[in-house]
Amino acid sequence: MAMTLFPLLLLLTVASLAGAESGGDVSGQIRLSCGASASATDEDGRAWDGDATSTFAPSVAGVAAAASYQDPSLPSTVPYMTARVFNSSYTYSFPVRLGRVFLRLYFYPSAYADDALFGVTAGGVTLLRDFNATQTALALGYAYVVREFSLNVSSETTTLNVTFSPSLSPRRGSHHAFVNGIEIVPTPDMFTTPVPTFANGGRPDLAPIRADTAYQTMYRLNVGGEGITPSHDAGGFYRNWDNDAPYIAGAAFGVTFEKDNNVSIQYNPPSVPRNAAPEGVYATARSMGPNAQINLNYNLTWIFPVDAGFYYLLRFHFCEIQYPITKVNQRSFFIYINNQTAQSQMDVIVWSGGIGRAVYTDYLVVTTGSGEMDMWVALHPDLSSRPEYYDAILNGLEVFKLQKYGIHSLAGPNPTIPPKRVVSMVDGSRSESRKKSSVVCATVGGVAAGCLFAVLVVCVLTWTIRRRLQKAGPLKPADGLLVPTKSSDLFGPVHN
């Protein structure tokens, strides 16, 4: 049946795909290397203005500082090796166009960070509060910290103010603030389309997504593939895609694979725009493995430490990339989020329209409580439609935190440094084993912290019923919506 619902309408030529790949709209991008007095280019080819001479920061306050040590894991000396240090609140004002931008803040803790504790606000949203960059870097197992936010600059103003505010110190006046780099990259609206529609059929309107919602990127993973550096991102957005292996829970890693040589990755704009993710994300994947019996006995699971008490948008990128999986009902699986079924009968061919075709689905996860928690994402074969293979697949995954509306905040606590990890700042590295141990330890800590949340209410909503599916016909039963049944801790499925 599904084949008639999803005719392969799209016959893009390889040539047109290649043409769309190059360039991208880079206008309106702003990069400030804070504490630097001259322009410089980073390893990704991005040009940075020194904030001491930039028109974006006339009469910049604070003092310029230089890092005393260049960690070998730094992706580039620019903008990490210089910093601007503030002992009182300072606002950078950037001229921006209306609409959405990525705002990236770069922090490399060095001697100038010794007494740094500060907040950052931008566009009226608190991005960081009492931020300790040293602790955050230690906890994550990196020498440096990049925080990426997506903000919608509203119509009233076309200035994006980014304010660094030292936290008050009980001992003397205040701590100080620092920043190494600030980057602004305009983007189209990547979040509110396709528009979720909940407010009918007696369903409670739980949609918390507003057009002006601010997001923080928590994780962006090229599942089953190598990390993809910013210069290789799609759309000229300079996103960074990490390998997913450090987040896999347990010993069962599944298998990773690349696309067959005779498969080309195809997008389907506007529902799957070419800038959704670079081809490299879709061209590699992780599946459970070739052995059906083993697959039935485990869940392919990733664990992500996140801040409790926020809504999260999880974006799963899928693409079938190897023969013989070309037809409907060859591979069908469950997506579990926090041990709840977010999706049953996930069949990538049904959603995408064929082998090599990229697609993504979004799920909204509601968490309550405070402090740190672990978010679980798991895949398992769904046998209800008697698929040919008992397996599951994932190509990419993004986890975004949504702002809290009432208090206009994205800020969470500083992550706790995993116990029993012998790490010094000079030895930060991006190696998988380090990240892995960090995540495993964080998980242990998270389980303990979980006891602190007397009530952890979790609700998973699915809304991405892609436009093409909506046009094509009735929703699959799998497009269910999980909503609260009553004011208890548990949420059950509600069907149309």
Ligand X SMILES: *[C@@H]1O[C@H](CO)[C@@H](O)[C@H](O)[C@H]1NC(C)=O
For position 212 contacting ligand X by CB under 6 A, the verdict is: yes
Q: How far is the CB of 496 from ligand X (least distance, A)?
A: 23
Q: Which residues of 308-338 are buried (b: 16+ CB within 10 A; e: fewer)?
A: bbbbbbbbbbbbbbbeebebbbbbbbbbbbb
Of 155-163, 237-245, 461-469, 479-487, which part binds ligand X (CB under 6 A)? Answer: 155-163
Q: Which of 37, 53, 161, 231 binds ligand X (CB under 6 A)?
A: 161
- Minimum distance from CB of 105 to ligand X (Å)? 17
Judged by CB under 6 A, the stretch of 9-17, 50-58, 156-164, 460-468 that binds ligand X is 156-164
Q: What burial letters (b/e) apply to 248-265, b meaning 16+ CB within 10 Å?
A: bbeeeebebbebeeebbb
Residue 93 makes contact with ligand X by CB under 6 A = yes
CB of 129 to ligand X, least distance (A): 13
Residue with Cβ nearer ligand X (69 or 323): 323
Size of the site for ligand X (CB under 6 A): 38
- Give the one residue of 175, 259, 331, 434 binding ligand X; rule: CB under 6 A: 175
User: Phi first, then psi: what are they for 274, rounded to 5°?
Assistant: -65, -20
* Piece of the chain touching ligand X by CB under 6 A; list 11-19, 220-228, 375-383, 429-437: 375-383
Which one among 376, 390, 400, 491 touches ligand X, defined by CB under 6 A?
A: 376
Residues 6+ apart with CB under 8 A from 471: none
What is the spatial distance between Cα 341 and Cα 493, in angstroms, rounded to a whole number?
A: 9
Which one, 87 or 256, has the nearer CB to ligand X?
Answer: 87
The least CB distance from residue 45 to ligand X, in Å, is: 26
H helix runs in 184-303, sequence order: 279-282, 292-296
Decide: residue 18, CB within 10 A, 0-12 exposed, 13-18 middle, 19+ buried. exposed
Select the residue interacting with ligand X from 39, 89, 192, 264 (CB under 6 A): 192
Residue of 444, 482, 198 lying closest to 338 (CA atoms): 482
As a whole number of angstroms, the distance between CA 35 and CA 53 comes to 10
* Cα–Cα distance, 355 to 395 (Å, whole number): 13
157 touching ligand X, by CB under 6 A: yes
Task: Please state the closest distance from residue 87 (CB atom) to ligand X, in A.
Answer: 4
CA distances 283 to 266, 394, 490, Å, are 10, 11, 38
Q: Which stretch binds ligand X (CB under 6 A): 227-235, 372-380, 386-394, 429-437?
A: 372-380
- Distance CA(83)–CA(36), nearest Å, equals 7
Instruction: Please list the residues that pair with 93 across neighbouring strands.
Output: 161
63 forms part of the interface with ligand X (CB under 6 A)? yes
CB nearer ligand X, residue 369 or residue 396: 369
DSSP 8-state assignment for residue 420: T
Binding residue for ligand X, selected from 323, 408, 489, 492, defined by CB under 6 A: 323
Residue 157 one-letter amino acid? T
Binding site for ligand X (CB under 6 A): 62-63, 87, 91, 93, 99-100, 115, 117, 132, 134-135, 138, 152, 154, 157, 159, 161, 173, 175, 189, 192, 211-212, 260, 262, 297-299, 323, 336, 338-339, 374, 376, 378, 380, 417
